[in-house]
Amino acid sequence: MKQNNNHQNGTTLTAESLRIGYLEQVVIQNLGVTIQEGQITALVGPNGSGKSTLLKTLARLIKPMNGAVYLDGRAISQLPTAEVARRLAILPQGPSAPPTLTVSELVEQGRFPHAGPLRMLRRQDHQAIDAALQLTGMTNFAQRRLDNLSGGERQRAWIALALAQATPILLLDEPTTFLDIGHQLEVLALVQSLNRERNMTIVLVLHDLNQAAQYAHRMIVMQRGAIVADGEPAATLTQTLLADVFRVRAHIVADPESGAPVCLPYAHVEQHEKTTQNVSGR
Ligand SMILES: Nc1ncnc2c1ncn2[C@@H]1O[C@H](COP(=O)(O)OP(=O)(O)OP(=O)(O)O)[C@@H](O)[C@H]1O
Ligand SMILES: [Mg+2]
């Protein structure tokens, strides 16, 4: 059962009237969203629909052309960087770092917003780093260089970096990419326990709609830079949505364990139409 923790952790994230683009191209026209505290929100949508653009804007990595993001009611653009980094961590899609960096050096970076004078790591910093490595199963990889890791191990090192930041809000862009199914579920279970046990507010971009429906309290669906559906998974993951947004025909069944909707796609909309026309035309 998904629990929805109601006690507040005091960090809110909202966006109003966002217009976001790159050079000449406007990708998001006019978007507003309030991320609910203490919830897991899944951001889904086809490739190029603007998920990463939105997530990066929420984390202040992209400056919107219009509108604003508010962290605890204050415009994020006005806040000192370290203050933002103490409240909000982001794992971007396809992050990059110097390849010779070790896992432990990467994860240490997560403590700089908390560091004391001279950026010295203190006891609580080492504890947070060790805990992040442990939670992601990366303890034994701590001294390994990033360029000597498998894709999945590297992905987990980046998740450890975000966790070491120990923020009340965590934004994860496709945290399960490169992971085998076991490690995917491990990361999602970790997300769930961070939410339940530490009341963390988590927004994650996922391509697997069934995982989104199973782990998130809320699904936000994007298409061509706009939010086209937003709500509890059972109300959001519908046949109409799958056909309109993802262009697939699918059966929707209830997960026997959790009751969450599970979609079983069986055809691409256009191909399906062609096939059924051929059959009926014979
Ligand atoms: N740095 C950039 N410069 C120019 N255009 C960009 C840039 N990054 C993204 N875009 C464009 O913005 C649009 C939205 O991209 P975005 O990365 O937000 O999509 P997405 O939903 O995260 O897709 P995916 O599922 O493939 O990661 C796309 O048309 C993309 O080509
Ligand atoms: Mg993306």
Spell out the per-residue pLDDT of the chain, length 282, in tens: 444 444 445 689 999 999 999 987 999 999 999 999 999 999 999 999 999 999 999 999 999 999 999 999 999 999 999 999 999 999 999 899 998 999 999 999 999 888 777 778 899 999 999 999 999 999 999 999 999 999 889 999 999 999 999 999 999 999 999 899 999 999 999 999 999 999 999 999 999 999 999 999 999 999 999 999 999 999 999 999 999 999 999 999 999 998 999 999 999 998 877 777 776 655
What pLDDT score does 10 carry? Answer: 66
Domains of the chain, earliest start first = 13-95+167-237 (3.40.50.300), 238-282 (no CATH)
**Residue 122 in tokens:** 């203190």
Tell how far the Cα of 54 is from the centroid of ligand 2, in angstroms: 9
Residue nearest to atom 13 of ligand 1 (CA): 48
What pLDDT score does 6 carry? Answer: 42
Which ligand sits nearest to residue 173's alpha carbon?
2
For ligand 1, pick from 52, 204, 228, 246 the residue to mutate: most ligand atoms within 8 Å of CB: 52
**Residue 28 in tokens:** 């998001």
Containing 164, the helix (H) or strand (E) segment is: helix 151-164
Name 88's bridge partners: 169
The answer to whether residues 125 and 132 touch, using CB atoms and an 8 Å cutoff, is no
Tell how far the Cα of 53 is from the centroid of ligand 1, in angstroms: 6
Name 218's bridge partners: 41
Protein residues whose CB sits closer than 6 Å to any atom of ligand 1: 22, 25, 27, 45, 47-53, 93
Residue nearest to atom 5 of ligand 1 (CA): 22
Tell how far the Cα of 26 is from the centroid of ligand 1, in angstroms: 11
User: CA angle, corner 232, sides to 41 and 259, nearest 5?
Assistant: 110
Rounded Cα distance between 20 and 17, Å, is 10
Distances (CA, A) of 200 to 39, 190, 230: 7, 11, 20
The number of the ligand 1 atom at minimal distance from the alpha carbon of 50 is 18
What pLDDT score does 275 carry? Answer: 77
Residue nearest to atom 6 of ligand 1 (CA): 22
State the pTM of this model: 0.92
